Amino acid sequence: MSEYVVELKNATKRFPGVVALKNMQLAVKPGEILGLIGENGAGKSTLIKVLTGVHQADEGQIFVDGVEQHFKNPNDSAAAGIACVYQELNIEKLLSITDNIFINKWIKGKGGLLDYSAMHKKAKEVMASLGQDVDPTKPAGNFGMGVQQMIEIAKAVLINAKMIIMDEPTSSLGEKEVEQLMKTCRELKSRGIGIVFVSHKLEELFELCDRVTVIRDGEYISTKPIDEWDNDSLITAMVGRSLDNQFPKEFGTKSAEPMLQAEHLMEAGVLRDVSFEAYGGQILGFAGLVGAGRTETMRAIFGADPLDSGKIIIKGKEVQIKSPSQAIKAGIAFLTEDRKGQGLVLAQSIRTNLILANMKGFSDGPFLNEKRILEAGEKNIASLRIKTPSIDEIVGQLSGGNQQKVVIGKWVNTDADIFIFDEPTRGIDVGAKVEVYNVMNDLVKQGKCVIMVSSEMPEILGMSDRVIVMRGGEVMADVDRDSKHFNQEDLMKAAWGGKLDD
Amino acid sequence: MTKSKKSSNLMTYAGTFGALLILCIIFTIFSRNFLTFSNFMSILRQSSFNCLLSVGMLLCLITAGIDLSVGANATFCACLAGMMVNKGVNNSFVLIVVIIVAGVLIGWINGTLLTRLHLPHPFVSTLGMKNVLWGAGLIVTGSQMVSFSGLNGVMWLGSASIGSFPVSFVMVIIIYIIMHVLLTRTSLGRSIYCAGGNPEATRLSGINSANVLTFCYVISGLMAALAGLVSIGRSGICNGVNAIQPYDTDAIASCIIGGASFMGGKGTMLGTMLGALIIQTLRNGFTLLSIDSAMQNSILGLVIIGAVLLDVTRERMEAKARRLAAK
């Protein structure tokens, strides 16, 4: 028997014109959590797809329990005991948890009809073993992302997977759900299941993993036990150079008067008396747990959802904002947290998406000025370093980081004064994150007001001039960068409902 | 860059245009009456009705919607005019205004049901509207045909010719040019494509998606009214029974053959024009060859399936090529 439950050796995968994997290797021991990290485009997806049989490697070998395997399709891989929980979950939201878990593995009773009582019982058991006490007859869509992910894990458990790959499992989870997920991972580990944990969040790797493998540009870089890694060495291995500063904070000049004042914003069941002010030349961070009402506050200010009461004052003047178009006229830009669903028209070109928020500014009368659009677009592509073969590329074809840059470009093109960035670096790689931070730096240096909603504490601490902490639709704390409370412990304390003394 | 985009666009028409050409060649070989000036003029005259309905259909398809009520709308508008004739109104101007106002209003109701009253998909609202109009058309005319003979003003658009060129097709050409400019060169046109692709992202970009969508259905209603007017001129009558003729599906087929997609975000005026001409040429050629109408319907169905199959296959190849190029 081999030491490893799954071992990939010298795998090379070529796509026409490019080598996606070069002599790649990966080895997972039974009952181990192996972190896998690399920038976007490093080859993580290809590696996962080779292991799950979606792609076939041109060269190289895969061993499961020391026996060489050839996966022709995902079914072969699943039969060998390899399962994968993809970042985009494969959940049929309208079907019950049981239906989701037993899809294509139905338990049949007499006469070939589905035996639901047996399936419900089994589903309940499996979910309970993953720490989820849920009613398996309810539609999966009724539950949060955390539970939906557990359904995927339950599928893997049900086929007696020897190894489970989790592709950025925490990217759409809240704090509590992440905790539960980690607990589940440890539980699976204790059952002897090997886990490959793909994440962009270094602190998660340090908390959870036994060893971490770093890949870069399709090549294997290194695998070391977790205590031999630290933040800097991981980043250096990942990007191939040291990023001196993960958060390249620069300071603008704070405006004398607040640029945006929100007073007593109320929205039944969502916001309770939210008041704050934001200044030009500063980044105002919004920290809190998922569901604290930060996104809702921003959507209300932007006119995307109606407020029950409250005042919004821009540069000292009260404004009435009933719709996003009024907000844009008032000088507000809003980069939504869900870039695919709310930020971009994926089927349209970069050129079109870049002018979406300022069609009028790019038109003479009713007619579009193609020359101005092209000039602005090429400028956006250059200054934001959007990697694309052409300005006419369909946005859906771009990588996540480049899509995010297109959304940023769309808002930069509006000449707004107040930029609200909701989770601007979610799901994009370290290099692209730094570029997003630099855009924010440029904006504050021009005297613009930047509001950044983020669930990443290091990002909040690294980039904000001032932080507002929310919980349950209320403002809990307002902490200046110079304050003694400007640290992770105190901000988390406030986010969990604690009081900060003065 | 722009150049390559344009040339590739022309390439996409090459297939449709080629198909039209091949059709013409086949019919020329098999029917001595096909390749004549007067037959071409009659193809244009016959296709005006469908060309008009296809304009509105295309706008709705671009927004990932559909307007199943266009045929019934056209018929109803004609019947409404017929009712007024029965009641003794014989001022052509009044009749034309009534036709147009009715069509626009029906389009506006379709748009409002979708955007302001939040019906889930225009398939539902416009299917309902189609049935409402079918019944209404029969009710207002007492299920009788109404003749418009003598009312030359109302008949003019559908019957008159300049030389032998049908006036109705002149109007079609003008409308197609205007709509082409609207779709490709104006911010409204760009908003229509975007609202189809992602209405929420479009709304959060400060564009009033609801108004944009309503506009599309209003235009669809207006085009249906004009088509109704043309039908009066061509046949000299109105007949409520026509509301359930496959006018809607012909219009959908023209758009789809011309490159539009049910998923929205795609489609052009030129492509739609070619699609409409292909359908009419087929119908015309089959009639000349004395192929019965049952057979015509089946073959037309195969053409629609074939055209979409071709389009989908081409798209998959393109996507694959792009993937390979990007890797």
Nearest to B194 among A15, A352, A389 (CB): A352
What was the pLDDT predicted at A472? Answer: 87
Q: What region, left, alpha or beta, does residue A201 occupy, with left being phi > 0 and alpha being psi -120 to 50 degrees? A: beta
Count of A-B CB contacts under 8 Å: 100
pLDDT of residue A83 exceeding 50: yes
Whether this model's ipTM surpasses 0.85 comes out as no
The answer to whether residues A264 and A451 touch, using CB atoms and an 8 Å cutoff, is no
Nearest to B205 among A341, A347, A357 (CB): A357
Please answer yes or no on whether B190 and A359 come within 8 Å at the CB atom.
yes
Q: In chain B, what is the straight-line distance between the N-terminal and C-terminal CA atoms, in Å? A: 21
What was the pLDDT predicted at A408? Answer: 94
What sign does the CA torsion over A305, A422, A438, A429 have?
A: negative
**Which residues in chain B are contacts of A343 at CB distance < 8 A?**
201, 204
Please answer yes or no on whether A363 and B186 come within 8 Å at the CB atom.
yes
Instruction: Give rounded-to-5 percent helix, strand, coil for chain B.
Output: 80, 5, 20
Alpha-carbon distance of B108 to B88, in angstroms, equals 29
Dihedral in degrees, nearest 10, Cα atoms A48, A52, A53, A55: -20
Q: At what angle do helices B70-86 and B247-257 cross, to 10 degrees?
A: 140
Please answer yes or no on whether B265 and A345 come within 8 Å at the CB atom.
yes
Alpha-carbon distance of A342 to A358, in angstroms, equals 16
Closest-CA residue to B43 (of B211, B274, B258, B202): B274
Percent of chain A surpassing pLDDT 90: 62
What was the pLDDT predicted at A470? Answer: 93
The answer to whether residues B149 and B246 touch, using CB atoms and an 8 Å cutoff, is no
**pLDDT digit string (tens) for A9-57?**
999 988 766 678 899 999 999 999 999 998 766 788 889 999 999 999 9
Question: Chain B interface, mutation test: which of A356, A388, A391, most B Cβ atoms within 10 Å?
Answer: A356
Write down the domain spans for chain B: 38-319
Nearest to A391 among B1, B198, B200 (CB): B1
What was the pLDDT predicted at B71? Answer: 96
- The per-residue pLDDT of chain A, averaged, comes to 90
Residue positions counted in chain A = 502
**pLDDT tens, per residue, chain B with 327 residues:** 344 444 456 667 887 888 899 989 999 999 888 889 999 999 999 999 999 999 999 999 999 999 999 999 999 999 999 999 999 998 999 999 999 999 999 999 999 999 889 888 899 999 999 999 999 999 999 999 999 988 999 999 999 999 889 999 999 999 999 999 999 999 999 999 998 888 889 999 999 999 999 999 999 999 999 999 999 999 999 999 998 898 999 999 999 989 888 888 889 999 999 999 999 999 899 999 988 888 888 888 888 888 778 778 877 887 777 666 654
Alpha-carbon distance of A393 to A350, in angstroms, equals 6
Closest-CA residue to B117 (of B264, B247, B217): B217
Architecture of domain B38-319: Orthogonal Bundle (1.10)
**pLDDT digit string (tens) for A121-152?**
999 999 998 888 999 999 998 888 889 999 99
Closest-CA residue to A39 (of A462, A432, A389): A432
Chain B CB within 8 Å of residue A375 CB:
no
B265: nearest CA in chain A?
A347
In this prediction the pTM is: 0.78
Lowest-pLDDT range, A337-351, A485-499, B279-293? A485-499
The answer to whether residues B156 and B167 touch, using CB atoms and an 8 Å cutoff, is yes
Please answer yes or no on whether B205 and A410 come within 8 Å at the CB atom.
yes
Q: In chain A, what is the straight-line distance between the N-terminal and C-terminal CA atoms, in Å? A: 62
Please answer yes or no on whether B198 and A329 come within 8 Å at the CB atom.
no
Measured at the CA of A454, the angle between CA A450 and CA A455, to 5 degrees, comes to 170
